[in-house]
Every structure is written in structure tokens, then in C-alpha cells.
Amino acid sequence: MRALVVERLEADYGGCRLAEIATPRPGPGEVLIRVRAAAVNFPDLLQTRGEYQHKPELPFIPGLELSGEVEALGEGVEDLAPGEAVVGGARIGGFSDYAVTAAAGLRRKPAALSFAQAAGCGAAYLTAHVALARRANVQSGEWVLVHGAAGGVGLACVDLAKQMGCRVIAASASPDKLAVIAAEYAPDAVLDVRGGFREAVKALTDGRGADVIFDPVGGDVFDESVRCIAFDGRLLVIGFTSGRIPSVSVNLPLIKGFSVMGVRAGEYGRRFPERGRENLDHIWSLAETGAIRPRVHAELPLDQWREAFDLLARREVIGKAVIRPDL
């Protein structure tokens, strides 16, 4: 089979190559999947440089989210059958013609989603759900400011927050991206953050500030978010795509009465397994009914993996870029 293999940890994907390797066989409790789509996420890019928390042994195949069809079953797997459409994955393995993953990490693909949509749904919407429902305990009618709203996780937050009855401000530094978000997801407001956003958020919220701020950007965006959050607000730390990890003087949360909350959706599920299962059940039930709408920006064949990575690295993607080995 063909697979994108990381042989060395280097910048600019210098240690990656597309190779022909033996098709793996599923072991006990595992499933061999014919990959139809694999979403590209920032952790995939970071793993090629050894900069992500999870550091697989070399060589490895990146790709943490995938969808496809069951090709073969390992010993003890009885609740799936060859040919069934499934979605899920693990921390590695998706950017290949076939992938082996634990049966416990798979779900049947919702009929309402294409393979590409399904591949890009799980991690983004799970992060948004854990952030909004579990950490912030967001309530209908609250103002939610979503930074990085065009990214996969940010757009999932916009979509899910609207579904939860919140008033949503979608924020980005790209007017073109904001126009797409406004047309397709109908947030209550869109906000170009170039030149600052503090006063605009205050104006939109009648001077109160945002009740919940979803921040996957960090850096200057975090710094200014501290200045436009409401009393009893929740500032959700998702990541640092800006490249700078910010800090906050603790007198500000004291005086302004807000909380800074870290969000690690996967770790939340590992720490609280029952809640973790509930989180996943909730997300995939929404997908099954069509209540949420994962957006696929581009679908590219496996031999164009570098272009797919570059789309994400250059922040050109609105939603998800997806690699399609079947193209």
C-alpha cells in the first residue's frame, strides 16, 4: 500500500516521503480500514517535527482522524462487518491506503456526512463540545467570542455554539474568511481582529464583554481578550497557533472576576471515561441528525499530501483540508 512515512523529524516536512509498504494486518481487537478520507490537523504537522505532546517512534505514518470502510477484522471484533463505513482513528496512521486501528475507537459513519466530512468532524467538534459544555458550562443566550473562527476547531465552535442557542461573535484576521462564515454559519456578528477588537466586543455586548471567549490563537489575541471579557466570564485556552504562549497577571482575573480554563478534550475523556463516552455520543448523535455541519475546504489525493499540509500551515483553510487516498 501507499503511505506517507515520517522517517526523520525535520522542518518543512523534510523527513517525510510517500512510500510503498506492506499492508498491515489487524491484531486482536483491531480493524483494518480502507481509508477513504483523512483530515489534516495541526498536531499532524507538529508530529513531523517532533513538536507535539505525543511523539511516536520513527518511522511512523501520521494522520489522527480518518473515515473509510472495514476491510478486515482482528480476533475478537464482532460488532463490525467488512464493508461497513466507519469513522474514528488513533493518534497516527491515517495518511495511507489502509490503516489499522482499535475497534473501540471506531464508530459507524453518520449517513448525513460524506467520508470527507466525517473524517474532519470528531476532534474539532469534540474539542468545541468539551470547551463549551464541560468547561465553560455555557448557557443559551450568552455571548461567545470565537477566535480563529475559520479554523477547523474554531468553525466547529461557531457551529456548535449556535446550535446551543448562544450569541456568537466569529473573529478572524481575514475578511474573506469572515464573509464565508457569515454566509454559511450565520453567527450573530463577525469581527475582523486586525487593529484590535476590544472596543468592538464591548459595543456588541452593550459594554458587558463576552461571557465566553474561545481562544486557539494565544499571543496578542489572548492579551486583548482579557480586556473584553465579562464579569464571571470564562476564557478558554485551546492552543497557541500564533506561536506565543501568553501569560496573565492574576490580579486581572481577581478584579474582573473571570476564569482562565484549559481545554484538552482527549485528556478530559481519559480522566473521566464515562463523561468522555457521553461527549462522543453527543457529537456523533448531532452529526447523525444533521444538526452540525463540518465544512471541508479541500479534498486532495494522497500524492498531494504536501499541498494539503501547506494549505493548513499557511492558514488558508476554512474548516478542514482532507486527504483522499481513493482519488
Residue-wise pLDDT for 50-75, tens only, equals: 988 788 999 999 999 999 999 999 99
- 289 lies in a domain? no
181 is a domain residue: yes
Q: Evaluate whether residue 281 is within a structural domain.
A: no
Residue 94 predicted with pLDDT over 80: yes
Give the total number of structural domains in the chain.
2
Are 152 and 229 members of one domain? yes
Q: Which domain holds residue 45?
A: 2-121+294-324
- Residue 89: band (very low, low, confident or very high) from pLDDT cuts 50, 70, 90: confident
Mean pLDDT of 158-176: 97
Q: Are residues 22 and 84 in the same domain?
A: yes
Written as nine digits, the cell of 39 is: 483530515
pLDDT at position 35: 97
Same domain assignment for residues 193 and 237: yes
Report pLDDT for 128: 98
Q: Give yes or no: residues 245 and 163 share one domain.
A: yes
E strands, 134-228, in order: 143-146, 167-172, 189-192, 210-215
The reported pLDDT for the residue numbered 316 is 93
* pLDDT given at position 275: 96
- Taking only the tens place, the pLDDT of each residue in 8-33 is 999 999 999 999 999 999 999 999 99
Assess if residue 184 is contained within a domain: yes
Verify that 99 and 235 share a domain, yes or no: no
CA dist list (Å): 128 to 85, 87, 145, 233, 292:
25, 18, 13, 17, 12
Boundary of a domain, candidates 267, 282, 302: 267
Residue 203 sits in the same domain as residue 303: no
Model pTM score = 0.92
Is 287 inside any structural domain? no
How far, in Å, are 129, 197, 214, 222, 280 from residue 137 at the CA level?
Answer: 10, 24, 13, 20, 17
The verdict on residue 63 lying in a domain is yes
138 shares its domain with 99: no
Residue 146 has pLDDT above 90, yes or no: yes
CATH number of 320's domain: 3.90.180.10
